[in-house]
Amino acid sequence: NAGVTQTPKFRILKIGQSMTLQCTQDMNHNYMYWYRQDPGMGLKLIYYSVGAGITDKGEVPNGYNVSRSTTEDFPLRLELAAPSQTSVYFCASSSHISYTGELFFGEGSRLTVL
Amino acid sequence: QKEVEQNSGPLSVPEGAIASLNCTYSDRGSQSFFWYRQYSGKSPELIMFIYSNGDKEDGRFTAQLNKASQYVSLLIRDSQPSDSATYLCAVMDSSYKLIFGSGTRLLVRP
């Protein structure tokens, strides 16, 4: 039972490089989210999606892009990496967000930009 | 900007005591409130949700909501060392987005 799978788990980028964080869920959830968590801080919403083909900005979308071509996949793209994007990134999904608020999180992707 | 505020802690309590964690929110239209627990280096997990004013109990955990004061709290009775973690308060907005606070770190001393 995989749940939400994120890859890679760790990555070091140089300033200006680009990369994609992959997120896949096998629970047939409509809602998917990307959060970032800086050390000692809470989660900040980057982008979210309520279904395939639909995405919207969260609290901190600048420097990121997303797509949702299928129900299962929700990749996060960093175009020009900056040191301020050093963080732990969590992908999450939910089927009943409006009822229980329960998000199922991936294990996180730790990104360092040098 | 919708905000969720928590004291960062650490809150240190002895084993067996009651731990009280507090959270305030700015969006008066918020309807749903959640407590997530996050162990160090792990992803968050939902432990409680509450919609109505008053108390909601689940085992050793009690969530309390006061919408007039825009205040949510979590009580942990008979605290155990395994409860040592960061507790994140989250509030759902009208677009079904969860807005998280910065979390309170709880330390339960054996």
Residue A69, pLDDT > 80, answer yes
CA–CA dist B60, B45 (Å, integer): 16
**In the prediction, which pLDDT does A41 show?**
84
Residue A1, pLDDT > 70, answer no
**A42 pLDDT band (50/70/90 cuts)?**
confident
Residue A101, pLDDT > 80, answer no
- All residues of chain A having their beta carbon less than 8 Å from the beta carbon of residue B34 are 101
**In the prediction, which pLDDT does A98 show?**
62
**B28 pLDDT band (50/70/90 cuts)?**
confident
B19 with B75: CB under 8 angstroms? Answer: yes
Q: Nearest CB to B43: which of A33, A40, A106?
A: A106
Instruction: With CB atoms and an 8 Å threshold, state whether A98 touches B4.
Output: no
Q: Average pLDDT for residues A83-91, to the nearest whole number?
A: 97
CA separation, residue A98 to residues A13, A90, B49, B84, B101 (Å): 37, 20, 11, 29, 19
**In the prediction, which pLDDT does B8 show?**
85
Q: Average pLDDT for residues B75-79, to the nearest whole number?
A: 97
| CA-based nearest residue in chain B for residue A6 | B43
DSSP-derived letter for residue B96 is S
Residue A99, pLDDT > 70, answer no
A38 with A85: CB under 8 angstroms? Answer: no
- All residues of chain B having their beta carbon less than 8 Å from the beta carbon of residue A56 are 95
CA–CA dist B61, A75 (Å, integer): 36
Instruction: With CB atoms and an 8 Å threshold, state whether A42 touches B49.
Output: no
**In the prediction, which pLDDT does B94 show?**
76
Q: Average pLDDT for residues B28-41, to the nearest whole number?
A: 91
**B31 pLDDT band (50/70/90 cuts)?**
confident
**B98 pLDDT band (50/70/90 cuts)?**
confident
B23 with B72: CB under 8 angstroms? Answer: yes
**In the prediction, which pLDDT does B27 show?**
87
- All residues of chain B having their beta carbon less than 8 Å from the beta carbon of residue A31 are 96
- All residues of chain A having their beta carbon less than 8 Å from the beta carbon of residue B43 are 90, 105-108
Q: How far away is chain A from the Cα of B68, in angstroms, using its nearest Cα?
A: 21
Which residue in B97, B99, B104, B105 has the most chain A C-beta atoms within 10 A of its own C-beta, making it the best mutation to test that interface?
B97
Instruction: With CB atoms and an 8 Å threshold, state whether B88 touches A44.
Output: no
Q: Average pLDDT for residues A7-36, to the nearest whole number?
A: 95
CA separation, residue B110 to residues A33, B39, B61, B79, B87 (Å): 37, 17, 19, 10, 19
